[in-house]
Amino acid sequence: MNNPSVNRYLHDKSIDHIDHALGRPIFPLLESHRNYFATSSGTKQAEFSASPNWEKLGQRDDMAYFAVTETGRWALSDYLAKQEQPWKAFVVEFDGYTRIVPAKSRSAARYSYYLEVSDCWSELKFGDFMKRSKVRAA
């Protein structure tokens, strides 16, 4: 996956909606695995329709469907750049396999990838993983 998602919550609710619609990607300006938001009719629908961050995809009964525009992606990107501890992308290499891992530090990225690998390889000790893995900024 070239644009992994991050488990985060943003305090600005309008920006959090954009992040949610895109699947909370580490790189908001790149293609993400989704771009979709559904809301019921009413004030939220009117707010989305009036914003340059959203494009209305359609309506069915009392539900409206929206996608994030390029302007919305830039708004999210700008917001994330101003955060104190933004998530960063790290490349973790282990036994010939490479993966982009979103984390707040190199050590967190390495440990996160170890947890993924150890789910399938229960005999792998963390010390062995540490010796055989490399981490760098993406």
Q: Whole-model pTM?
A: 0.74
Q: Are residues 56 and 93 in the same domain?
A: no
Q: Are residues 59 and 32 in the same domain?
A: yes
Per-residue 3-state assignment (H helix, E strand, C coil) for the chain: CCCCECCCCCCCHHHHHHHHHCCCECCCCCCCCCCCEEEECCHHHHHHHHCCCEEEEEEECCEEEEEECHHHHHHHHHHHHCCCCCCEEEEEEECCEEEEEEECCHHHHHHHHHHHHHHHCCCCCHHHHHHHEEEEEC
Residue pLDDT tens, the chain, 138 long: 578 888 888 999 999 999 999 999 988 998 988 998 998 877 677 788 889 999 999 888 888 899 999 999 999 999 998 887 677 889 999 999 998 888 888 999 999 999 989 988 989 999 999 999 999 987
Q: Are residues 26 and 75 in the same domain?
A: yes
In this prediction, residue 40 carries a pLDDT of 83
Q: Are residues 71 and 98 in the same domain?
A: no
**Residue 2: inside a domain, yes or no?**
no
Q: How many folded domains does the chain comprise?
A: 2
Residue type, 121: W
Q: Are residues 20 and 76 in the same domain?
A: yes
**Residue 6: inside a domain, yes or no?**
no
Q: Are residues 69 and 38 in the same domain?
A: yes
End residue of a domain, out of 58, 81, 104: 81
Q: Are residues 17 and 75 in the same domain?
A: yes
- Report the candidate in 51, 29, 48, 26 with the shortest Cα–Cα distance to residue 38: 48
For 98, the domain range is 88-137
Q: Are residues 75 and 93 in the same domain?
A: no
Q: Are residues 77 and 106 in the same domain?
A: no
In this prediction, residue 43 carries a pLDDT of 67
